[in-house]
Amino acid sequence: MHATATRAAVTPVPWRETRFWIYTFVLLSYMATLMLQIVATAQMLIAEVCERGHYADCDSDTVSSKAAVWTLYGGLASSLTGVGVSGTVGVLSDKFGRRWVVVLPLVGLTANTLTLALFKAYSWPLWTLVAISGGTGLFGGSPTMFMAIYTAVADIVPEVERSKKFGYTEVSLYLGVMAGTSVSGILIEHFDYKTLFVAMTVAGAALTLIAAAMPETLAPSQRVETVSWAKANVFGALGVMTRPTRLGPWPVLAGLGLAFLLSYGAIVAFGSIVILYSKVKLHWTPRELGFFLGSQWIIRAACVSILSPLLLHTQNVRRITLFSVIGLCMQAGSMLTYALAPDTGIMYVGSAIGGLSAVAFPAIRSLFSLAVSAKEQGVALAALSAAETVANILLPAFASGFYSATDSSCLPCTLYVLVGLLLAGAGCAAVALRFLSPVLELTLDTPDDMDNVSSAQVESRPLLAPVAVPEPLAP
């Protein structure tokens, strides 16, 4: 009797929830390994430039500037080769499923860390780092991984819960970044670079096998019958922002997409100069930088975990858009704090302000997902992936060049420019808010058991239903 009662009290986790947490775990692990690889590569590059150039002081501005140039070349090579991938795989995933798109950047990460280990072992020329980065871009990189994970989540999560679940997915991204950056300084101090890259290669191979064994989220009934090759490129993917959707006329997605591009680009640009900026202004060691970056992502993860259920678990599309505007303004305030910070303590205050902005990106992603039908999730989220790729090409190059030109005359000037980009992004999101459909309540009431609901049942229900206006009473 007791055993029977105990079994009856246990509620099994729905299969869609299990799939959701599997995919978020893969995203967390991927980001942790990727960030460790990025930080380790940047620090190794500084050491290689110093050693090969026979400089007496490896902390000098000259060494840092030369290392920044090589980092810039590598980032551009990766982004340029990834341009052709970002839009294509999103469209193809609507036909062939999401799992292979998750595997693709994991294969690229594994190959990248393996070649970095060989670079260190055999002292290859510095230009080979650019070639390695360019080859990695052919596998899509982080924009493709983000697109694949978010489309998989959109496949299995009801529309009324999607904004909240996207927030939780964003948390796993932040936790992965935090884990990778936090331990990077400690690991770099205790292990040589070749050992680190070999260990990351093993971790990447294990993640690839896990991803290959994951269940597919896109049901056959939800797949498109034919591939639209006109959309299977970066320009075709961005073209989804120029047409009306279920949320309203074309300025809605155009404004949200431009807001995403500018704000994401500003954050990526800050990441491209933060190592040099903190070294020159605050004289941080790699461990201090690692702790700062790790704490930054801990704060963001905590804020999203708390705020997503409170702010994004809503059926009101206007409310979701409004929080994206507020979030981008908070991020601008955070960047301004970094520019004005006289010491380490104020930098952490900026991180706290930035943490409150963390709901902006899951809000914009969920709006793109809600704007289209179940069969166009790959196309819609590929548009954001394309925007990420364009931002990765343009903004870090601009920030690095502008920083190099102004660091001696105006050290925080680059950050002031990034503040302007974030405020411009908030303005674009505000434009989207202005053009949203006047009817803003999601009426889709999807059952909890999504595995038993066909795509036809889901798409037969309107996202934005008309409001019934009572007729006037007869006199």
Contacts 24+ apart (CB under 8 A), 60-64: 61/280, 61/407, 64/275, 64/276, 64/279, 64/280
Mean pLDDT calculated for residue range 228-247: 80
Give me the pLDDT at residue 117, please: 94
| 72: its two tokens | 């810039």
- The C-alpha torsion from 286 through 268 and 104 to 26, rounded to 10°, is 60
Give me the pLDDT at residue 445, please: 39
Give me the pLDDT at residue 428, please: 94
Mean pLDDT calculated for residue range 161-182: 86
Mean pLDDT calculated for residue range 432-439: 79
Tokens 């331990």 belong to which residue? 183
Give me the pLDDT at residue 439, please: 52
| Best mean pLDDT range from 340-344, 381-385, 427-431 | 427-431
| Angle, vertex CA 187, rays to CA 185 and CA 192, nearest 5 | 115
287 near 189, Cβ under 8 Å? yes
Give me the pLDDT at residue 417, please: 92
pLDDT-derived band at 35 (thresholds 50, 70, 90) equals confident
78 near 134, Cβ under 8 Å? yes
Q: Regarding predicted confidence, which is higher, 336 or 279?
A: 336
Give me the pLDDT at residue 20, please: 87
How would you class 402 by CB atoms within 10 Å of its CB: exposed for 0-12, middle for 13-18, buried for 19 or more? middle
- What is the average pLDDT value for the chain, to the nearest integer? 81
Q: Which range (35-44, 153-162, 260-269, 311-320) has the least confidence?
A: 311-320
The pTM of this model reads: 0.79
Q: Regarding predicted confidence, which is higher, 108 or 19?
A: 108
Percent of the chain with pLDDT over 70: 87
- How long a stretch of residues is the chain? 475
Distance CA 432, CA 63 (A): 44
pLDDT-derived band at 143 (thresholds 50, 70, 90) equals confident
pLDDT-derived band at 442 (thresholds 50, 70, 90) equals very low
pLDDT digits (tens, 9 = 90+) for 172-214: 988 888 888 778 878 888 888 999 999 999 999 999 999 999 8
Q: Regarding predicted confidence, which is higher, 266 or 474?
A: 266
pLDDT-derived band at 13 (thresholds 50, 70, 90) equals very low
**One CATH from 1.20.1250.20, 3.40.50.300, 2.60.40.1120, 3.40.630.10 for 17-215+229-438:** 1.20.1250.20
Does 441 have pLDDT greater than 70? no
Percent of the chain with pLDDT over 90: 25
Give me the pLDDT at residue 109, please: 93
Mean pLDDT calculated for residue range 357-364: 88
Q: Regarding predicted confidence, which is higher, 57 or 207?
A: 207
335 near 418, Cβ under 8 Å? yes
Does 216 have pLDDT greater than 90? no
CA 130 from centroid of its chain's CA atoms: 23
pLDDT digits (tens, 9 = 90+) for 117-134: 999 999 999 999 899 988
Mean pLDDT calculated for residue range 421-442: 82
Does 2 have pLDDT greater than 80? no
